[in-house]
Amino acid sequence: MAEVTRPLRVLIVDDDALVRAGLWMMLDGIHGIAVVGEAADGAEVPAAADAHSPDVVLMDLRMPRVDGIAATRALRRRPHPPEVIVLTTFDTDENILHALRAGAGGFLLKDTPPARIVQAVRLVAAGEPILSPQITRRLMDRVATHADAYQRARAALAVLSPREQQVVLAVAKGRANAEIAAELFMSLATVKAHVSAILGKLGLDNRTQIALLAHDAGLA
């Protein structure tokens, strides 16, 4: 019997009812994606996550009681955390940095084309970060200017094996697992094992944070 793959479960978090309705209509008709719930404020996110067990959360930043950064941080501390894509109109350096440090796997603006949002949901659910090249470059330039971040990143990466450091560099360059496998002559399973080991050793949540650490250390 063929294996049945369940759709990706998406939770929408935004204080604008029209935005929530628009995202729901856009995503819920896509094959392989099911919108399972919504929340109007970050304060409602824990209960919504408990009720709906989402795979991916689309998270607004500016909300009246609990903002998207705090809500993302709380979600990523759960035993089996969903992936988070921040979807906002506010793309300041501080917002981007705080969202990624909180554990978000993606950062998109609300004027992102629908097809790109759909792609982001699928990629982030598969463990692939999604960030526009312009935002990535601006953020990395900012992070690289801080000497203390450089020293901390170098010390953290020193605990990794040489092979794990090669994987870190490839992740920082935006390589997908299959590309890393081909580039470093590894099996796909070995690459996944290395990524999991790196996350565990460094106490990180996702590949985006690996890339940030590599840039902090001046490796990419």
Which tens digit of pLDDT belongs to each residue from 137-187?
666 666 555 556 778 888 888 999 999 999 999 998 888 899 999 999 999
Query: What is the predicted pLDDT for the residue at 175?
Result: 87
User: What is the percentage of the chain residues whose pLDDT exceeds 90?
Assistant: 51
Find the helix packing angle between 177-184 and 162-172, rounded to 10°: 130
Query: What is the predicted pLDDT for the residue at 144?
Result: 54
Task: Give me the phi and psi of 204, to 5 degrees please.
Answer: -105, 165
Q: H/E/C letters for each residue in 70-101? A: HHHHHHHCCCCCCEEEEEECCCCHHHHHHHHH
**Is residue 104 a part of any domain in this protein?**
yes
The pLDDT tens digits for 102-127 are 889 888 888 888 998 999 999 999 88
**Is residue 2 a part of any domain in this protein?**
no
Q: Which CATH number covers residue 208? A: 1.10.10.10
- Whole-angstrom Cα distance, residue 141 to residue 139? 5
Q: Which of 109, 140, 171 is the last residue of a domain?
A: 140
Q: Is 39 helix (H, G, I), strand (E, B) or coil?
A: strand
The pLDDT tens digits for 21-66 are 999 999 988 999 999 999 999 999 999 999 999 999 999 999 989 9
User: Which pTM value belongs to this model?
Assistant: 0.66
**Is residue 189 a part of any domain in this protein?**
yes
Q: How many domains does the chain have?
A: 2
Question: Using the 8-state DSSP alphabet, how is residue 12 labeled?
Answer: E
Q: Which of 94, 124, 140 is the last residue of a domain?
A: 140
Q: Which residue matches tokens 């989402």?
A: 54
**Is residue 41 a part of any domain in this protein?**
yes
Q: Same domain, yes or no, for 183 and 203?
A: yes
Q: Which CATH number covers residue 24? A: 3.40.50.2300
Per the structure, the complete domain to which residue 152 belongs is given by 147-216
Q: Same domain, yes or no, for 17 and 56?
A: yes
Q: Which helix (H) or strand (E) holds 107?
A: strand 106-109
Q: Same domain, yes or no, for 182 and 111?
A: no
